[in-house]
Structures are given as structure tokens and as C-alpha cells.
């Protein structure tokens, strides 16, 4: 029968590392347990033939190499490519169509829209565009967005009323399916004065990929938009 010593002995002994071997040779096996290693000064050691760099004592020089003067791009500028449609139904009725890299579209008013140009106060955003059609009742499911309301270029998305009682009907300007409307605008229409990434958008649309390239060619790029505004005598 095996003795207690035999049972306590592990079957496989872990080989000592180089660091342990060096410690044993330097201090001896009986001194290792009582040795205070916190008093040993930091040294650059090697592990798997790779040097371990000493901790950084001063990061000021690293920060000096980073240009902090240029502002970081906002989310809508970083991931979306903007396109524009000017004078959709009337003068300065300008629409912005931001297309994500995954082809999802975020619809908003362009910065040159007459509401912004004349600094009008928005009092109501109504997604009930007719007696039979309410965009806020749009319900979708699944990756294919089943049940989504179909959209054509001339489909109405919403109706915006300003404090001067002027009413603006917004067209979607793109073929596709309505994924969602910005429901926050129903309770807080003033959000439309905010940037798109802060709630100032109208709707999210899944475009018809069959007509997407054709639609892009019919819209203005960012550079073309700037040129058109200069010709119009406006500023962004």
C-alpha cells in the first residue's frame, strides 16, 4: 500500500522557470520563502526572448505629438456620406440624404433649408401625411423589414409647421422602405434644429438597392452642394 508521502507527491512536477532557477541559485532554497522581493530594484527582464519595457515615467512628450486642435468628426460625418436635393418642391426646400456604408439612409433637412435659413421656430412635426397614411404607425420585422411602408421618391415623410403658420411637406427623395421615423420629434419638434446625430433627423430608410446608384447620380455630393450654394448666394 502506498505511504502518505507517496500519495502527497504530485504525479507531474512543473519544471522551474529560468527566474526561479536564478532565484534559487542566488538565495538558496531555504531562504526563498522568507525573502522580501519588494526590496529588489526593478530591472528589465526577458520573457520568451522579448524585452519587457520599463514603465513610462512621463507621458507629456507623448501627448505633445498628438494634434488636439482639430475637432473629431461627429458620428454622422464619420460613417455617413451626405447627398443633397435642392428646391424639391419650392425655393430652398433642400433635403439631405445621408447614406451609411451599410447603405442605410438617414433623412433630414439640409442645412440650407428655408426653415434654418430664416431661423424659423418649429412648432409641430406631423407624420400623418394623409387621412389614410400615418408614418408613425409603421411597423417592421426581420432583416428584410417586413411590413415596412414602401416609399417612392415623391412620397411624403412628414409635415412641418413653424411659428409663422407656414407648413412644409417633406419628400423622401429616394425609393425604398421606411425603417423608422424619429418619434422624438412628435413630442419635441425643436429637436429638428439639432444635428442629426443628436436627434435632428426625420427618418431612417432602407433604400431599394436596384435604384441606389441611379439615385446617387441624381443627387448632389458635398462638394457640388457647396458650389450650388455659392451660386445661389447662400452660406452653409
Mean pLDDT by 10 residues, the chain (236 residues): 49 56 53 52 52 61 62 66 96 96 94 96 97 94 87 96 97 96 96 93 95 94 95 73
| pLDDT value for 66 | 60
pLDDT, position 142: 86
The answer to whether the pTM exceeds 0.85 is no
pLDDT at 63: 58
C-alpha cell at 206: 432602407
pLDDT number for residue 235:
57
Q: What is the pLDDT of residue 25?
A: 54
Kindly list the distances between the CA atom of residue 234 and the CA atoms of 23, 92, 140, 225, in Å, as whole numbers in the listed order: 77, 10, 39, 11
Q: Return the residue matching grid coordinates 418619434.
A: 183
Closest CA to 161 of 141, 189, 187: 189
Residue 203 burial class via C-beta count within 10 angstroms: exposed 0-12, middle 13-18, buried 19 and up: buried
pLDDT given for residue 4 in this prediction: 46
Angle at 157 between CA 137 and CA 108, to 5 degrees: 120
d(CA 64, CA 78): 25
User: What domains does the chain contain, in order, with CATH numbers?
Assistant: 4-64 (no CATH), 75-232 (2.40.50.100)
Amino acid at each position: 500500500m502506498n505511504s502518505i508521502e507517496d500519495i502527497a507527491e504530485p504525479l507531474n512536477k512543473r519544471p522551474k522557470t529560468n527566474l526561479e532557477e536564478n532565484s534559487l541559485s542566488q538565495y538558496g532554497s531555504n531562504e526563498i520563502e522568507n525573502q522580501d522581493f519588494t526590496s529588489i530594484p526593478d530591472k528589465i527582464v526577458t520573457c520568451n526572448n522579448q524585452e519587457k519595457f520599463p514603465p513610462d515615467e512621463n507621458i507629456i512628450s507623448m501627448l505633445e505629438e498628438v494634434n488636439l486642435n482639430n475637432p473629431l468628426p461627429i458620428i454622422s460625418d464619420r460613417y455617413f456620406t451626405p447627398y443633397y436635393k435642392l428646391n424639391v418642391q419650392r425655393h430652398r426646400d433642400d433635403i439631405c440624404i445621408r447614406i451609411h456604408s451599410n447603405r442605410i439612409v438617414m433623412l433630414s433637412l439640409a442645412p440650407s433649408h428655408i426653415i434654418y435659413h430664416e431661423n424659423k421656430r418649429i412648432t409641430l412635426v406631423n407624420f400623418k401625411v394623409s387621412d389614410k397614411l400615418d408614418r408613425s404607425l409603421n411597423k417592421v420585422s426581420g432583416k428584410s423589414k417586413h411590413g415596412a411602408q414602401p416609399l417612392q421618391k415623391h412620397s411624403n415623410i412628414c409635415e412641418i409647421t413653424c411659428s409663422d403658420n407656414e407648413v412644409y411637406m417633406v419628400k423622401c427623395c429616394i425609393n425604398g422602405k421606411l425603417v423608422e421615423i424619429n418619434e422624438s420629434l412628435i413630442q419635441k419638434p425643436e429637436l429638428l434644429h439639432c444635428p442629426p446625430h443628436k436627434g435632428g433627423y426625420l427618418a431612417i430608410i432602407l433604400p431599394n438597392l436596384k435604384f441606389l446608384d441611379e439615385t446617387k447620380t441624381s443627387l448632389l455630393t458635398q462638394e457640388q452642394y457647396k458650389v450650388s450654394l455659392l451660386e445661389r448666394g447662400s452660406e452653409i
